[in-house]
Structure 1
Amino acid sequence: MPETLVLLHGFGGTHRAWDPVLPELDRERYNPLVPDLRGHGTKAGVRPISFDGCVSDVLAAAPREFVLCGYSLGGRVAQHVALAAPDRVSRLVLVATSAGIEAEEDRAARRAEDEAFASDLEQMTIEEYADRWQAQPLFAGTPPEAARWWRADLLRNDPVALADALRGIGAGDMEPLWDRLRTLTMPVTVVVGGRDEKFAAWAARYREVLPQAEVVVVDGAGHGLPREAPREVAAAIQGAGA
């Protein structure tokens, strides 16, 4: 019987962010469950937008035991889920994500950046948001076809809801989880793009706190792994714990 595979999308996306990956999965092995996170897509109006709320949604939707994979923001949520219910997560796959900003000074600076962007978001159209989000240096080098597909997913959101999400589950709002991760015993795979220098550094940090973790580097890919390298992401998911 196939295992349930819960896939959590990144900030500003929806469950459709996983569309390029789904055809690459072995359906005899996995039954994908692909929810929207609070403040996004079909859950744009669900409040409060918090990590605890997102954890509750995932655990309510998932069966007793499941494989869990999260990308970027979804990876941060996935870590909260794994820590809240480690007996239910059989394997954990973290794609282009981190366990939080460790220095309080840096975290405070990120909170200020997030609040400024959230305030801007409340005045934007969704098209203006998509333009600004895609223009970030983090996403430089995204292949044109991946960028077109990604933009279509960004446009499925509401900018005011995204502003609330940024305030509730943004990187600046999240207390770091690095020390707590040491308690996890399930197999963990960390996936990062070869061009994604910022998150490659986080991958090295995962090696320190999770010595059982496998780190997979996807050569030539940037931060947008599910849309840039869906076959490689699927292979990393299916190789996890094998």
Structure 2
Amino acid sequence: MNLTQIVMIPGLLCTDDLYRDQIASIPSDGVLVADTTSDPTITAMAERLVEVAPDRFFLCGLSMGGYVALEVLRIAPERVTALVLMATSAKADTAEQTAMRRRLVKLAHEKGIAAVAEILSDQLLGPSGRTDRRLRQRIAAMAEAIGADVFWRQQEAIIGRRDQTSLVPHIRVPTTLLAGTEDQIISPDRSREMAAVMPAGTLDLLDGVGHMVTMEAPDAASAVIRRHLQRDASVASDQLVAGPKL
């Protein structure tokens, strides 16, 4: 298989540990984990990614990382060879979601980020994942590494993001939408909606899995990404053989 350079974008309160198993198991020419901790907007995160990424790259984003990935497709579509969107949505926040985000930020500053991680773990994971002590510890450790101040900045970036539903039908690179059927944070219906209007979109649903698909079902998530990488490499090889179309 021809190897591809990959950019992976973490979600809210997540570090590169979100993709630990995928980075370890998926062959590539290199993996860049995007910085989602330094900027106040989703657009600025996407611009930072584009500035440091290879000229052409395979793009993966989970949850907030998916919001950033969609923004990358808006500002630099020619740079992306293929796309995996995991447990994410193209829609802007509702008023209810915004209010919940701000309550969690308030809790983080009053009670500490560990309190937020504990609450979120019950919502982030599927039925079996919620009882996995090591998985909950990894989620808590990522939250501690991010901290309350960056958590606030990320939440404000999410609240202020643009609605990308009009962009989705114009994404023509091969795209896999991956979601867990038990996702309580972002309904898998959002992935179904995007896949239905994408010219080159396919949908994979993981039964019994929650929001953190790469951590809760690492082998299945890695298999989906690996299959998509093989498809991307095959398309690239065909284009090289056929030459440019005039």
Separation (CA, whole Å) in 2 of partners of 1:194 and 1:109: 22
Alignment correspondent of 2:169 = 182
Alignment correspondent of 2:80 = 89
CA 1:90 to 1:232, structure 2 compared with 1: closer, same or farther past 3 Å?
same
Counterpart contact for 1:178–1:209, Cα < 8 Å: no
> Is 1:229 aligned to residue 217 of structure 2?
yes
Q: Which has the higher helix share?
A: 2
Q: How does 1:92-111 map onto structure 2 within 5 Å?
A: 92-101=83-92, 107-111=94-98
* Offset of residue 140 of structure 1: 4.6
Counterpart contact for 1:9–1:73, Cα < 8 Å: yes
Q: How does 1:1-242 map onto structure 2 within 5 Å?
A: 2-26=3-27, 29-38=28-37, 46-47=38-39, 49-101=40-92, 107-136=94-123, 138-141=124-127, 142=129, 143-144=131-132, 145-168=134-157, 170=158, 172-196=159-183, 198-240=186-228, 242=231
1:68-120 per-residue CA deviation (whole Å, 9 max, x = no partner) reads: 0001110111111111111000001001111124xxxx722322222232233
Q: Secondary structure at the match of 1:155?
A: helix
CA 1:140 to 1:195, structure 2 compared with 1: closer, same or farther past 3 Å?
closer
CA 1:109 to 1:199, structure 2 compared with 1: closer, same or farther past 3 Å?
closer
- Give the length in aligned residue pairs: 225
Counterpart contact for 1:94–1:189, Cα < 8 Å: yes
**Structure 1 counterpart of 2:33, one-letter code:** V
1:51-80 per-residue CA deviation (whole Å, 9 max, x = no partner) reads: 121011111121110000001110111111
Once structures 1 and 2 are overlaid, which stretch shifts more, 91-100 or 205-214? Answer: 205-214
Counterpart contact for 1:8–1:69, Cα < 8 Å: yes
The TM-score normalised by the length of structure 2 is 0.83
* Offset of residue 150 of structure 1: 2.2
Pick the structure with greater CA Rg. Answer: 2
Separation (CA, whole Å) in 2 of partners of 1:227 and 1:120: 25
* Offset of residue 34 of structure 1: 1.2
Structure 2: segments with no counterpart, 5+ residues: 232-246
Counterpart contact for 1:189–1:214, Cα < 8 Å: yes
Counterpart contact for 1:6–1:62, Cα < 8 Å: yes
Structure 1: segments with no counterpart, 5+ residues: 39-45
Once structures 1 and 2 are overlaid, which stretch shifts more, 51-60 or 150-159? Answer: 150-159
Q: Secondary structure at the match of 1:232?
A: helix
CA 1:166 to 1:118, structure 2 compared with 1: closer, same or farther past 3 Å?
same
Fraction of identical pairs, as percent: 23
